[in-house]
Amino acid sequence: MVEAIVFGILGFALMEFSGWFIHKYIMHGPLWMIHKTHHQPSKSFFELNDLFSVLFGSIAVVLILLGVGELDYRFWLGVGISLYGFFYFILHDIMVHRRLKWFDRPKNTFLKGIFKAHQAHHKTNQKDDAVSFGLFVVPKAYFKKED
């Protein structure tokens, strides 16, 4: 059980920190042609940028399938990555971008901070001028109380 918790948390954390790196240096770098669809007004529910979610989800599925026989570390890493993807979908796609109108704007201080950080990230639709590339780990400045 300890292995499940440790590797589940590790998978979740690896997604946040590798996601930050990939977002900043790859999505806002050589793969900007795909990611820029996320920084432009969308005419449909899906955008080309959703391919990144398919990629990360595929990694989780492969890890789960490789580790399912013995419920080893690969299985739990895949579960952690999947949990990250679930919370990413809820926070990013539903709460922040309102792709589904399930929730109002957040009132909780932590969620408001995430919301403000992502709004700051989208103040530009340019490749090089963006800030705040993480989802859960964002600068403290975004959690300050509004006057």
pLDDT per residue as tens digits for the range 86-145 = 999 998 888 888 888 888 888 888 888 988 998 889 888 888 888 889 898 888 888 877
Predicted confidence (pLDDT) per residue in 20-57, tens digit: 999 999 999 999 999 999 988 878 889 999 999 999 99
Mean pLDDT for the stretch of residues 2-25:
95
Distance in angstroms between the alpha carbons of the first and the last residue of the chain: 45
Q: What are the distances in angstroms from CA 34 to CA 21, 123, 138?
A: 16, 18, 23
Residue 10 has pLDDT above 90, yes or no: yes
Query: Angle at which helices 73-88 and 51-67 pack, to 10 degrees?
Result: 150
Cα separation, 145 vs 129, whole angstroms: 25
pTM: 0.87
Residue of 67 and 119 predicted with greater confidence: 67
Report residue 48 CA to chain centroid gap: 16
Cα separation, 98 vs 24, whole angstroms: 23
Mean pLDDT for the stretch of residues 60-77:
96
- Listed by start position, the domains of the chain span 2-103
SS3 content of the chain, % helix, strand, coil (to 5): 65, 0, 35
Residue 147 has pLDDT above 70, yes or no: no
Question: Two tokens at 28?
Answer: 């806002």
Residue 146 has pLDDT above 70, yes or no: no
CB atoms within 10 A of CB 66: 15
pLDDT for res 105: 80
Contact 70, 64 (CB under 8 A): no
